[in-house]
Amino acid sequence: MKKYKLDEYEVRIIIFVLNELRNQLIQEGRYTDAVDKLMIKLFR
């Protein structure tokens, strides 16, 4: 597993994009499991 060092700005952009994707998936009635897992990994 690779680890990357991200600054606060980059993390905010990634979280925003993942949240937008998650919202879109919810609207389409699709599963959000993969996006949820990625967001959890970012907060660790």
Q: How confident is the model at residue 2 (pLDDT cuts 50, 70, 90)?
A: confident
CA proximity to 15, closest of 43, 31, 3: 43
Q: State the sign of the Cα–Cα–Cα–Cα dihedral 17, 12, 2, 34.
A: negative
CA proximity to 18, closest of 37, 4, 5, 2: 37
- Per-residue pLDDT of 7-17, as tens digits, reads 999 989 999 99
Tell me the domain boundaries of the chain.
8-43
More confident: 16 or 44: 16
Three-class SS of residue 32? coil
